[in-house]
Chain A
Amino acid sequence: MKYWQYLVRRLAGILVSLIGLSIIIFTTSRVLPGNPARMALGALASEEQVQALAAEMGLNKPIPLQYLDYMRGLLVGDLGTSLETKRAVSTDIVYYLPATLELITVSMFLTVVIGIPLGVIAAQNKDGLADNATRLVAFFSVSVPGFFIAIMFQLIFGYLLEWLPITGRLGSEFGSGVSRFTGFLLVDTLLSGNLAAHVDAWAHIILPALALSLAGIGQVMRITRSSMIDVKDQDYVEAERGFGLPSWLVTYKYTLKNAFIPTLTILGLLYASLLGNAFLIELVYSWPGLASYGVTAVLNNDFNAVVGVTMTIGVAFVSINFLVDVLLGRVDPRIRLAMEEAT
């Protein structure tokens, strides 16, 4: 079996697990106490109005039928209407998701470009000053809650030093100069040709992204350090040094690639957990993202929105893990070859 065939098989498995997820989420959202129609219409609406709306929403049909209706809608991109915003859930998700994805992607980027080099430096100075310093940083970044760091950042960089804005995604003065193409402001500002706005978007995103990434930086740093130390002691690394290859080449090409394998797995899991952790950060920075939309939906029993958001996060989660699988196969040929030999 070729590796791509294995991946196709994995994709089929992913589809099945997504269907399973949708059944669970859908059923849970329907059997929870509270009448969505009543919630939508408010306390003042009459019982008849509530009944009429419930019928219109299909709430009096058996749950399996409601599920089938829902899935039929899903195939054409219809996720129902949000009771809270009165807009189609799909419209809301398309509106809110890019903000969250942008935040998470920038934090992942920071995690990788800060965490991995620090891990390498720590490994090369094992038990030295740099190692102990990064150990201390990792300890704090993992143990201090993200929202606390977020508030501290606002206090220090926004309020005391006044270097960076502390809320929102873009200064209000740029609102009219940027048209929406992708929803990713870092991209849209460039597409609109507005460089000043682009810089401003970076200024807005850097604090929340950093606050969100700190715990991950700590983890990635420690994992990279320990696997670098492991790999450095392998015979092949000693041999490569023995043949007189430049030591930076041995470290960053021949050692780091092997040491990156466990880090990559951690990165996949981190990306998924950031989707959840983003909520508190979005709250602190008034970031109009999917996490805050989802939490509002849950609190208001806005069941279509809840299912929509959960499914979106589910899809993001499995896509990232699939991507990690593809990358692992690229980085570590043993995984790929084992798959091909297994059948």
Chain B
Amino acid sequence: MRLDEPVAENPLLTVEDLEVGFESFDGLAEVIDGVNLSIGKGEVVTIAGETGCGKSVTMKSILRLLNQPPARVSGEITFDGTELLSLSDREFERVKGQRMSLVFQDPMSSLNPTFTIGEQLTDTAQFGGDSDTGVVEFFRRRFSGERDEARERVLEMLREVQMPDPENIMDSYPSQLSGGMRQRALIAQALLNEPDLLIADEIGTALDVTIHDQILDLLKDLIENHDLSVLMITHNLGVARQVSDRVYVMYGGRIVETAPTEELFENPKHPYTQGLIASIPRLTGDEMATGIDGSIPEYLDPPPGCRFAPRCPYATAECEEARPEMYERGPQTGVECVLYDEAVPASERPTVEETRSHMTRRPGKQTGGD
């Protein structure tokens, strides 16, 4: 059976057949090639994949952050019943400002260094999503009682993200804050206007591991308390496992596998996913896979069939000819690989261990050397 689209129940955001190309001097680079994804209300969904697989481009096309040209975007992006790509810039800004919010990758560079945390966050609380506010209107509201209310809201939000000493932080500049505090400030800023959809790009990965864990725990609480739908983008499968309900694995501009988180980690299907999971370092075991051989495809001249075929240990001539279908393998589970055709007997499908055995390895309990 073929899965056209692994749809979330009660979707808030759906992306259908998204294609993004970039014009360059060498021709059109077809980076995103037919991506389908959806996020249900209250669902936390992760797009995972290695650097260059197209996950950030997917996020940027949803948020209209790509400059067109050189980018060319087609497909359908529907947010709560509204088709986003056909909206005018102004209408889109309104939807984005009021209902979507994003947390950028790097907390060091995402706060304005010349304004206090209080100033930036209070402006966001007061005027975020009101992109039509004129100058006169701005000054009238800026110097009214509304400002104090907004400030109160910011303080409350800072307490909610467990910012230490929030009163003091309000008067501090970003350079006076640690990385973890800046990340908290950014999360607070993103949640100030009660968005429905939060898009988080590599959240916390710029921080050290202990803080990273605290931030993810905090995020989980916030998602629950604010009834958020979240699209997370990460190259770190551990993050996907810790926070999300469902995972999309992306490779070479396509979704190659999707499954509920538990299913994906216990029973990974696509050889690429298996390779990713096999390369997670383990404390036990005597050998360690160093990663999947090869590198992501050249987008200017991508492989005609499955884009993973050149790196896949199980690839056949069939794989190189045509793009495989997305086969449904259980609820909300799909995999784009010929090995999962009904006709293929289950015994011929690879396991993680098998995939691991095909990968370059180095002996465990030892450092250095190949």
CA distance A307 to B356 in the complex (A): 84
CA distance A331 to B115 in the complex (A): 9
Known A235-B104, A238-B65; judge A246-B138 contact (CB<8 A): yes
Instruction: Assess whether A257 is interfacial by the CB under 8 Å rule.
Output: yes
A254 touches B131 (CB 8 A): no
Instruction: Assess whether B110 is interfacial by the CB under 8 Å rule.
Output: yes
CB-nearest residue of chain B relative to A248? B135
Q: List which A72-89 residues lie within 8 A (CB) of chain B.
A: none
> In the complex, what residues of B have CB within 8 A of residue A253's CB?
123
Instruction: Assess whether B210 is interfacial by the CB under 8 Å rule.
Output: no
CB-nearest residue of chain B relative to A250? B131
**Closest beta carbon of chain A to B322's beta carbon, Å:** 39
Interface string of A221-255 (1 = CB under 8 A from B): 00000000000001111111011111111000110
> In the complex, what residues of B have CB within 8 A of residue A240's CB?
112, 120, 124
The one of B110, B113, B175 that contacts A239, using a Cβ cutoff of 8 Å: B110
A238 touches B104 (CB 8 A): yes
> In the complex, what residues of B have CB within 8 A of residue A180's CB?
none
Instruction: Assess whether B156 is interfacial by the CB under 8 Å rule.
Output: no
Known A239-B104, A244-B96, A245-B131; judge A331-B114 contact (CB<8 A): yes
Binding stretch for chain B, among A151-159, A161-169, A332-340 = A332-340
Task: Output the residue of A242, A258, A334 with the most chain B CB within 10 A.
Answer: A242
Instruction: Assess whether B35 is interfacial by the CB under 8 Å rule.
Output: no
CB-nearest residue of chain B relative to A340? B176
> In the complex, what residues of A have CB within 8 A of residue B133's CB?
246, 249
CB-nearest residue of chain B relative to A338? B175
A246 touches B112 (CB 8 A): no
Q: Interface size bucket, B side? A: 35 or more
The one of B110, B111, B112, B129 that contacts A244, using a Cβ cutoff of 8 Å: B129
**Closest beta carbon of chain B to A154's beta carbon, Å:** 39
**Closest beta carbon of chain B to A191's beta carbon, Å:** 32
B112 touches A333 (CB 8 A): no
CA distance A258 to B115 in the complex (A): 9
Known A244-B193, A333-B175; judge A257-B131 contact (CB<8 A): no
> In the complex, what residues of B have CB within 8 A of residue A337's CB?
173, 175-176
Instruction: Assess whether B303 is interfacial by the CB under 8 Å rule.
Output: no
Known A243-B124, A245-B123, A249-B123; judge A254-B129 contact (CB<8 A): no
CB-nearest residue of chain A relative to B133? A246
Task: Output the residue of B102, B105, B110 with the most chain A CB within 10 A.
Answer: B110
Q: List which A242-282 residues lie within 8 A (CB) of chain B.
A: 242-249, 253-254, 257-258, 261
A239 touches B127 (CB 8 A): no
Known A243-B124, A248-B135; judge A333-B129 contact (CB<8 A): no
**Closest beta carbon of chain B to A259's beta carbon, Å:** 10
CB-nearest residue of chain B relative to A237? B112
CA distance A337 to B133 in the complex (A): 33
> In the complex, what residues of B have CB within 8 A of residue A248's CB?
135
Instruction: Assess whether B93 is interfacial by the CB under 8 Å rule.
Output: yes
CA distance A244 to B176 in the complex (A): 26
Contacts from B to A (Cβ < 8 Å): 63, 65, 93-94, 96-98, 101-102, 104-106, 109-116, 120, 123-124, 127-135, 138, 173, 175-176, 186, 189-190, 192-193
- By Cβ-Cβ distance, the 10 closest A-B pairs, closest first, are A244-B97, A244-B129, A235-B109, A333-B173, A243-B128, A236-B112, A235-B110, A246-B133, A243-B124, A239-B110
- 12 cross-chain CB contacts under 8 A: A237-B112, A244-B193, A245-B97, A246-B130, A246-B133, A249-B123, A254-B115, A254-B120, A258-B113, A333-B113, A333-B175, A334-B175
